[in-house]
Amino acid sequence: SHEGGYGLGRPALDEEIAAWDIDIRPDGQGLPRGEGDVWTGEELFVAQCAMCHGDFGEGAGRWPQLALGTGTLTSNDPVKTVGSYWPYLSTVWDYVHRAMPFGNAQSLSDDEVYAITAYILYLNEIVEDDFVLSSDSFAEVEMPNAGAFYMDDRAETELPEFSREVCMENCKEDVKITMRARVLDVTPEGGDDAENA
């Protein structure tokens, strides 16, 4: 251990770091060499992903939708997908590689992750069907929503507004109930413990 420490732990070996350090950054740091094309990705997607995410990334049942939804972010029902919302391609590669398929994580080879990522880009109409995603072509892909995120600005937009003197007496002329949870009736029954046992 380094000077001045407690002398605890031991140096990590290169093989150990390589085994665990799998994260990818937007600038491509961490990306392994490799490549995959859209149609290879389609085959893999149909076999490994479509049962939850749908053949075209539309999402089966309540499972996440991966494609389309462009133009919905300002609507009452925003559809946040890789194409409509995700700012960075690196996140797709990283997440598919580290956590998918759900229940069989880290089972895909690097080339398979490239291919599936290429197919997801194609489903989102971000690349053409002859696209080959590789460690070299990675930087060419532009994500449509990349510019739509900004740093937490509550310190400017909310904290001063919400740090004012409060009203204690005669604050409202008339108070009306405007919405009731009971009308929706979607709360699990509290008395039935069987489902939670």
Dig out the tokens for 73 from the structure. 């972010």
Among 43, 46, 102, 139, binds other proteins (CB under 8 A): 102
Q: How far apart are CA 156 and CA 186, in angstroms?
A: 37
Among 15, 142, 163, 194, binds other proteins (CB under 8 A): 163
Q: How far apart are CA 51 and CA 57, in angstroms?
A: 10
Residue whose tokens read 């049942």: 61
Taking the complex as a whole, how short is the minimal distance between the CB of residue 112 and other proteins, in angstroms? 17
- When asked if residue 172 is in the footprint of other proteins (CB under 8 A), the reply is yes
Dig out the tokens for 134 from the structure. 């590789």
- When asked if residue 170 is in the footprint of other proteins (CB under 8 A), the reply is yes
Contact 83/98 with Cβ under 8 angstroms? no
Taking the complex as a whole, how short is the minimal distance between the CB of residue 179 and other proteins, in angstroms? 4
Determine the residue type at 29: Q
Quick note: the x/- pattern for other proteins over 15-54, rule CB under 8 A, is -xx--xxxxxxxx------------------------x--
Stretch that binds other proteins, among 6-14, 31-39, 40-48, 128-136 (CB under 8 A): 6-14
Contact 78/145 with Cβ under 8 angstroms? no
